[in-house]
């Protein structure tokens, strides 16, 4: 395959940025060696990215000699490159059931989420889209009117990222008819990218643990969602739907779900579902997350919770068996409960996963790293356009939908 010089330049730039994401810091010579580039090519790309404010140079005093010896270099300190950590380049937004959070995003150095501004729009509001825009303008004032290379909006549900549309959001239906990118652009004159929230979490985990390139991420919170990463990339699908574990039905479960179905697993193990089950079992206790956590810390797991965890484990183990994966990353609200909860879930997952019969299945419980994921996707989408992970399909899904309907 023959690449044009412009595309080769984008590929080299993307490779260099990805290598710095993995390494954290590296010299120009390190980058050239690890990528198989000539030092002049790596240096030229690095210099251009420094001029754009994407990379920054740092001094490394007492750095060991490059030949692997233990004797520090004499003379001036060594200089290395890293993604810019001092100046925010992107703006990240997280749309929740009622709360929206905002954070200015540097390109590197975000191991944990830190949201700077948040506001609430009640689902019962007569015009939630207009109220969301009003409060977003107020939030922009708190951020000081900064300009950004791009804005990334993390949203739940099924999205058409290329078309900038939320196709279906079981728990935030008003967002399906609201043009959220247009609202954002009326406040900030910057390009906007819609990101499925579980994809953001998965890329955040991949950014912090680049050696973990194959995993199923399952997030518990207002719903239950998943994302699949294979060889460091999201699993490509012909339709914009993936990881919707929360909408798998559980036999005997008669709770109605926001998606319109009955019996979805997320009606049992979302924060709302857990509190509903807890309240039904202990009607005299306060219906709050704190009361639930306190009760679980003082008592053995009760049948209602065990049954729900076993059902979720069956869904997750089935996904592992179909996908051929052995690493599970569990994030979100279950990790806020006593360890016995996730330990039971992990044991049940391993019991149902085929790989555990003759190998090892791992279940990790890291914190959510949504902002790191949004920054990583921002690098792919806004800094190296044309060759990013988002292009699983060749054309926007909105046009595929029109073709199907025709």
For the domain spanning 5-83, the CATH number is 1.10.10.10
Q: Which two tokens stand for residue 167?
A: 């196709």
Distance CA 297, CA 38 (A): 58
Domain ranges across the chain = 5-83, 90-200+370-384+392-405, 210-364
- Compute CA 174 distance to the chain's CA centroid, rounded to the nearest angstrom: 22
Over range 73-99, report the average pLDDT.
Answer: 83
Q: How does pLDDT run across 307-350, given as a tens digit for each residue?
A: 999 999 999 999 999 999 999 999 999 999 999 999 999 999 99
Strands 150-155 vs 192-196: parallel, antiparallel or unpaired: parallel
The C-alpha angle with vertex 69 and arms to 63 and 73, in degrees rounded to 5, equals 35
Mean of the per-residue pLDDT values of the chain: 88
Tokens 């798998």, located at residue = 248
- Compute CA 43 distance to the chain's CA centroid, rounded to the nearest angstrom: 31
Q: How does pLDDT run across 363-380, given as a tens digit for each residue?
A: 999 999 999 999 999 988
pLDDT, residue 239, reads 80
Domains 5-83 and 210-364 share a fold: no
Q: Which two tokens stand for residue 38?
A: 């000539």
Q: Which two tokens stand for residue 35?
A: 């990528």
Q: Which two tokens stand for residue 201?
A: 């979490």
Q: How does pLDDT run across 155-189, given as a tens digit for each residue?
A: 999 999 888 899 999 999 999 999 999 999 999 99
pLDDT, residue 4, reads 65
Q: How does pLDDT run across 3-17, given as a tens digit for each residue?
A: 567 777 788 888 888
Q: Which two tokens stand for residue 87?
A: 């100046």
Question: Burial, 231: exposed, middle or buried (Cβ in 10 Å; 0-12, 13-18, 19+)?
Answer: exposed
pLDDT, residue 359, reads 95
Q: Report the predicted TM-score, pTM, of the whole model to 2 decimal places.
A: 0.86
Please, which contacts does 229-232 make with residues 24 or more away whose CB atoms are closer than 8 Å? 229/202, 229/203, 229/205, 230/323, 230/325, 232/206
| Higher-confidence position of 147 and 200 | 200
Query: How far is CA 240 from each of CA 73, 244, 278, rounded to the nearest angstrom?
Result: 52, 11, 35
In angstroms and rounded to an integer, the radius of gyration of the C-alpha atoms of the chain is: 23
Sequence-ordered list of residues with C-beta below 8 angstroms from that of 241, at least 6 positions apart, any chain: 158
Distance CA 242, CA 378 (A): 21
User: What is the share, in percent, of the chain residues with pLDDT greater than 90?
Assistant: 64
For the domain spanning 90-200+370-384+392-405, the CATH number is 3.30.420.40
- Compute CA 136 distance to the chain's CA centroid, rounded to the nearest angstrom: 22
Tokens 């729900």, located at residue = 308
Tell me the CATH architecture of domain 210-364: 2-Layer Sandwich (3.30)
Reduce the DSSP state of residue 309 to 3 states and report it. helix
Q: pLDDT-based confidence at 110, cuts 50/70/90?
A: confident
């Amino acid at each position: 395959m023959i690449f044009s010089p412009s595309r080769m330049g984008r590929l080299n730039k993307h490779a260099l940025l990805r290598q710095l994401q993995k390494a954290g810091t590296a010299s120009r010579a390190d980058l050239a060696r690890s990528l198989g580039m000539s030092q002049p090519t790596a240096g030229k790309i690095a210099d251009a990215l420094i001029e754009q404010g994407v990379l920054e140079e740092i001094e490394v005093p007492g750095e060991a000699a490059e030949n692997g010896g233990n004797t520090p270099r004499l003379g001036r300190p060594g200089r290395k490159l890293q993604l810019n950590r001092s100046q925010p380049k992107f703006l990240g937004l997280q749309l929740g059931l009622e709360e929206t959070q905002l954070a200015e995003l540097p390109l590197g150095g975000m191991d944990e989420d830190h949201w700077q501004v948040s506001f609430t729009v009640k689902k019962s509001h007569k015009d939630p889209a207009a109220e969301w825009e009003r409060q977003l303008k107020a939030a922009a004032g708190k951020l000081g009117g900064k300009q950004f290379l791009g804005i990334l909006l993390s949203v739940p549900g099924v999205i058409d990222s290329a078309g900038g549309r939320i196709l279906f959001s079981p728990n935030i239906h008003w967002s399906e008819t609201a043009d959220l990118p247009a609202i954002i652009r009326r406040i900030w004159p910057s390009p906007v990218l819609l990101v499925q929230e579980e994809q953001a979490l998965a890329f955040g985990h991949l950014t912090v643990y680049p050696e973990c390139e194959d995993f199923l991420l399952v997030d518990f919170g207002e719903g239950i969602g998943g994302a699949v990463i294979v060889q460091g990339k999201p699993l490509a699908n012909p339709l914009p739907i993936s990881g919707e574990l929360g909408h798998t039905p559980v036999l005997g479960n008669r709770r109605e779900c926001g998606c319109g179905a009955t019996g979805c697993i997320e009606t049992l193990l979302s924060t709302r579902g857990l509190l509903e089950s807890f309240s039904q079992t202990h009607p005299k206790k306060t219906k709050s997350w704190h009361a639930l956590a306190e009760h679980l810390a003082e008592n053995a797991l009760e049948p209602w919770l065990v049954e729900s965890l076993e059902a979720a484990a069956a869904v997750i183990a089935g996904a592992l068996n179909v996908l051929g994966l052995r690493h599970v990353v569990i994030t979100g609200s279950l990790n806020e409960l006593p360890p016995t909860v996730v330990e039971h879930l992990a044991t049940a997952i391993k019991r149902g996963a085929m790989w555990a019969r003759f190998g090892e299945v791992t279940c990790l419980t890291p914190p959510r790293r949504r902002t790191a994921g949004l920054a990583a996707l921002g690098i792919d989408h806004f800094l190296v356009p044309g060759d990013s992970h988002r292009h699983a399909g060749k054309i926007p899904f909105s046009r595929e939908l029109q073709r199907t309907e025709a």
